[in-house]
């Protein structure tokens, strides 16, 4: 992990639905935050879908591709790894990903 990460408070854990996502504005950028309750993990990516350039990723459905946690764009169904940001649909698109930490019921995103 990059040692120069700046942790920014994004929201409360209760703001993000279980096995779902939400969006926070951090440094002028929309960041999608996911509470993958089934695995006990949290993820953050850019909210902008790189396929059709719509702010929609936080509203996507999360699931798994084998062992890999993924999110599907709600409009175009392109799927992306929540760990690496790689497109799992075989296309040359990628989401920016960010580290997440939880402290005292609050979600912090590293930028």
- List pLDDT tens digits, range 43-102: 999 999 998 899 999 999 999 999 999 999 999 889 999 999 999 988 999 999 999 999
What the chain holds in terms of domains, given with CATH numbers, is: 17-96 (2.102.10.10)
Q: What pLDDT was estimated at residue 4?
A: 86
Q: What pLDDT was estimated at residue 2?
A: 53
Under 8 Å between Cβ of 110 and 6: yes
How many CA atoms lie within 13 Å of 99's alpha carbon, on the beta-carbon side? 10
Global confidence as pTM? 0.94
């Amino acid at each position: 992990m990059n040692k120069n990460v700046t942790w920014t408070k994004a929201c409360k854990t209760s703001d993000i639905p279980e096995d779902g996502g939400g969006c926070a504005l951090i440094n002028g950028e929309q960041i999608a935050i996911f509470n993958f309750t089934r695995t006990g993990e949290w993820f953050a990516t850019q909210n902008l879908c790189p396929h059709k350039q719509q702010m929609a990723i936080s509203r996507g459905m999360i699931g798994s591709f084998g062992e890999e946690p993924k999110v599907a764009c709600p409009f175009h169904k392109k799927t992306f790894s929540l760990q690496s940001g790689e497109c799992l649909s075989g296309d040359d698109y990628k989401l920016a990903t960010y580290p997440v930490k939880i402290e005292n019921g609050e979600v912090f995103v590293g930028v």
